[in-house]
Amino acid sequence: MQFCDECGSMMKTEGDKWVCGSCGHETIRDEAKEAAMVTTQGQEQSEIIDVSDAEDTGLPTTNAQCPSCDNDRAYWYMQQIRSADESETRFFVCTECEHKWREDDH
């Protein structure tokens, strides 16, 4: 992929030139430079790994009493669920039974 030196737009190939679709600027194609470019056809397919059942959710944990199973550890995160001038709501997810509850700032 080549970008225009004049306006920064993406350029297209037309024969032996790169041509900017926005401003019309043209440059001569350089085969050595193009060989080093990575294309979507040249990229390898990556393996998708399912981590939905993984124990680590990536969320921080804290001491919090689960109202469902009395476990004392929970993952937590903050989310804005009301208008922007209201404080965020803190959500907890039990590390044992995965029960979810919230704690509003008052």
Q: 1-37, pLDDT tens digit by residue? A: 788 888 988 888 888 999 998 898 999 888 888 777 7
Express each pLDDT in 62-100 by its tens digit: 999 999 999 999 999 988 887 778 888 899 999 999 999
Residue 94 lies in a domain: yes
Does the predicted TM-score (pTM) go above 0.75?
no
CA distance 82 to 49: 35
Q: Is residue 44 part of a domain?
A: no
Please indicate, yes or no, if residue 52 is contained in any of the structural domains: no
**Is 79 among the domain residues?**
yes
- 64 vs 3, 22, 72, 82, 94, CA distance in Å? 53, 57, 5, 23, 8
18 phi and psi angles, rounded to 5 deg: -100, 130
Tell me how far CA of residue 27 lies from CA of 11, 19, 94, 104, in angstroms.
10, 7, 60, 60
Is residue 4 in some structural domain? yes
| Structural domains of the chain, count | 2
Could you list the residue range(s) of the whole structural domain that residue 89 is in? 61-104
Residues belonging to the binding site are: 4, 7, 20, 23, 66, 69, 94, 97
Binding site, annotated residues for Zn(2+): 4, 7, 20, 23, 66, 69, 94, 97
